[in-house]
Structure 1
Amino acid sequence: MKAVILAGGSGEGLSPFTQKEQKESISILGRSIISYTLEGLKKAGIKEAIVIVNEKQKQIEESISTDISIEFVRQKRNGISGAALDGMEKAGDDEILLAFGDIIASSDFYISLMNVYALGAKAVFSLVPVYEGMQTYGLAKIKNDRIEIVKEGSTLALAGAYILPYGDFNNLLEYFTKLAPISKFFVWSGNWIDIGYPEDLLNAIELLLRNSRTIISNSANISKTALIGSNVVIDDNAIVEDYAIIKGPTYIGKNAYIGSYSLIRDFSSIEEKSSIGAYCEVSHSLIEPYSDIGSKSYVTYSIIGKRAKIGASVITSNYPANIIRGKVNKLGALISPEETISHGSVLPPNYRK
């Protein structure tokens, strides 16, 4: 069986960030979002995948490192339904595993899907409990050990991974509705998050670091005067300068730089080759690869895009917003890749550039 992974959406909820970077290529804890999907599929026994992409195909390709055999297919039809049909036709199999490339879940999520399929079903649906503020592709109800696809009035949502027989359809949800009476399903209550909005990226860091333990690479260069707390992951060749404080749960990526007297804390992910200047404080934030945070800056509940440059003494502000998706209900700044923020700027809550 081949997997078809949908990774060509516009990512409107993360605009303007996603005008420059494809959502599925965003890095969290040293891996792109789509890599979490590929890892789960590999552990579930999938060896071949078709990835449906748009004009940002190169970004997806460069973000992936896997020994699954991958074929990239440029989306021709419109929307999710069109992308699914493009992949299904390319696969040419009796059944496919259809996965959304913006879901972060543990490998057991995909293993459960394959285990239910092994019981003899032609179609299998994954379901998750609905949480407040959740944007769903569709809802489902369980009745007499069968599922019914519905538009409202359910506490269960379609979870973004399905096994489907080959079919010709114009609308994927209508196809789901047709298959539901003859399908099997499972309800997943483990780690799972759909990345659609800035707060989802911050929620994902919490999800992935929730049960972390301290792991420090032997090749990391850490000053003897730096203080490293518990639940801190420091990757290969990272540099932590004098008197810096790293409080977990936190991830410091490969070749990242943490300047003297800086404080990195509370579910932050400092990605590969990013640089945090001296006397900075970073909390509850995602700092994407190759970005640069100037000295004496304060970054909180924010996402800083790849190769962005944040000047010295920049302050991001936040307060509880009318956004409730998972644990995080605050937002600071969303800075797009390659953008520049001038020295001394004070950015208001939910600032986007």
Structure 2
Amino acid sequence: MKAVILAAGKGEGLLPYTEKVQKEAITIVGKPIIAYSVEGLKRAGVKEFVIVVNEKSNQIEEELEKIDVSFEMVRQRRQGIDGAIKDGMEKIDDDLFALAFGDIVAPPEFYKSLMDTYIMTGGPAVVPLIPISEGMQTYGLVKINERLRVVKESSTLALGGAYIIPKGDFSSLLEYIDLLSSQNKLHYFIWSESWVDIGYPEDLLFALEVLLKGKESVISDKAEVSKTAIIGKGVIIEDYAVIEDYAIIKGPAYIGKNVYIGSYSLVRDYSSIEEGSKIGAYCEVAHSLIEPLAEVGSKSYLTYSIVGKRARLGASVITASYPSKSLNRPRFNKLGALISPEETIKHGTVLEVGTKI
């Protein structure tokens, strides 16, 4: 079976960050976002992938080349999500295919359940149903009722962003799913476990919790960890990372390859420091995502923040993260700062809650 992965969206909820980077190429806990759907489907039995992309296709291609999968890139020509599906479907020779959004972060079991349901029911169409929880209402999720009919009114269930469907001549995916349901061709499974639709900065922070929660500590024997450093539970430290004297890594936390953590710094509470990043001495990083090759100057304090690839933060930069009613969005009522790739923040800068640069 082949899969069509949609990765051509503009990522408007993450602007201005996504002006420079495709959302699906953002790295989180050592992998680009798109890898979670591609690897999940591969483990479920999908052999080949058609990736529908936009003008930032080189970013997606670079990331996928790091994964052992067979894929073909297709530039989106038609408008909208339905147009992207049609562009991808042209490369499908079989009678049915898997379809997934490339901005979903979920464990491999999510995609295994999709495939298992197809095998047990015989298809031809399978969808995951996600119970709608507090904070998810702002996403424009496609709602479905207990009779598996797509509805606009209130519902407690939403479609989960990964499907197995037969090829067909349709103008709208939702109308097509509704048609399959009316013909008793639609099967489903309920997924109430970890699942994140990456649409806003807060979702990246929530994904850190999903990906790091409950992880066992793994410290590479190729990492250089000072004897005076303190490494807590649930900490992953990759090859060639350097943890200097008296630094504290309090899990859950991820320290990527070639990361440098300066003396007396504290990394804690669902933080991910991605490959090649540098955290200066006497810093504190909490519940934050530091993208590859970023640099954080000494004595900086970052909470609930996202620092883009190759961004440069001077010394003593502070991101405020007190609760803010103005966000009024999912999962967190606070966001420290969203700092776009390659941006430079001057020494001593204090960024107010919700700052986007």
> Under a length normalisation based on structure 2, what TM-score does the superposition of the two structures give?
0.96
Q: What's the counterpart of residue 306 of structure 1?
A: 309
Cα drift, residue 169 of structure 1: 2.0
Identify the residue that residue 122 of structure 2 maps to in structure 1: 120
Q: CA deviation at 1:324?
A: 4.1
Paired residues for 1:195-234 under 5 Å: 195-234=198-237
Q: Give 2:179's aligned residue.
A: 178
Report how far residue 120 of structure 1 moved: 1.2
8 Å CA contact 1:323–1:330 kept in 2: the answer is no
Gaps of 5+ in 1: none
Structure-2 residue corresponding to 1:108:
109
2:109 is paired with a residue whose SS is helix
Matches of 1:296 and 1:67 in 2, distance apart?
40
Contact 1:132/1:324 (8 A) holds in 2: no
Match of 1:72?
73
**3-state SS of 2:315 partner:** coil
Aligned-partner SS, 2:146: strand
**Do 2:241 and 2:258's aligned partners in 1 also have CA atoms closer than 8 Å?**
yes
Task: Verify the 8 A CA contact 1:136 1:158 in the aligned structure 2.
Answer: no
Deviation at 1:93, TM superposition (A): 2.1
CA-CA distance at 1:35 after TM superposition: 0.6
Confirm or deny: 8 A CA contact 2:265 2:284 kept in the other structure: yes
1:98 aligned residue: 99
Which residues in structure 2 correspond to 1:163-174 (within 5 Å)?
Answer: 163-174=164-175
2:142 aligns with 138
Distance 2:30 2:313 in 1: 21
The question of whether the paired residues in 1 share the 8 Å contact of 2:4 and 2:52 is answered with: yes
1:291 aligned to 2:268?
no
SS in 1 for 2:87: helix
Checking the alignment, whether the CA contact within 8 Å between 1:213 and 1:230 is kept in structure 2 is yes
What is the Cα deviation at residue 170 of structure 1? 2.1
Q: Number of matched residues?
A: 349
Q: Give distance in 2, aligned partners of 1:76 and 1:133.
A: 33
Aligned partner of 1:339 in structure 2 is: 343
Q: What's the secondary structure of 2:144's corresponding residue?
A: strand
Within the alignment, does 1:158 sit opposite 2:159 as a pair? yes
CA offset at residue 30 of structure 1? 0.4
Paired position in structure 2 for 1:315: 318
- The alignment-based identity, stated in percent, is 60
Alpha-carbon separation, structure 2, partners of 1:323 and 1:279: 33
Tell me the alpha carbon deviations over residues 183-217 of structure 1, each in whole angstroms, 9 at most, x when there is no partner.
11111112111111000000000111111111100
CA distance in structure 1 between the aligned counterparts of 2:170 and 2:86, rounded to whole angstroms: 7
Equivalences for 1:235-250 in 2 at 5 Å? 235-250=238-253
The residue that corresponds to 2:354 in the other structure is: 350
Structure 1 runs (4+) deviating above 6 angstroms are: none
- Please state if 1:47 is matched with 2:47: yes
CA distance in 2, matches of 1:50, 1:159: 20
Q: RMSD across aligned C-alpha pairs, in angstroms? A: 1.0
Deviation at 1:61, TM superposition (A): 1.2
Is the Cα–Cα contact under 8 Å of residues 46 and 68 in structure 1 kept in the other structure? Answer: no
Return the TM-score normalized by structure 1: 0.97
Contact preservation (8 Å) 2:177, 2:186: no
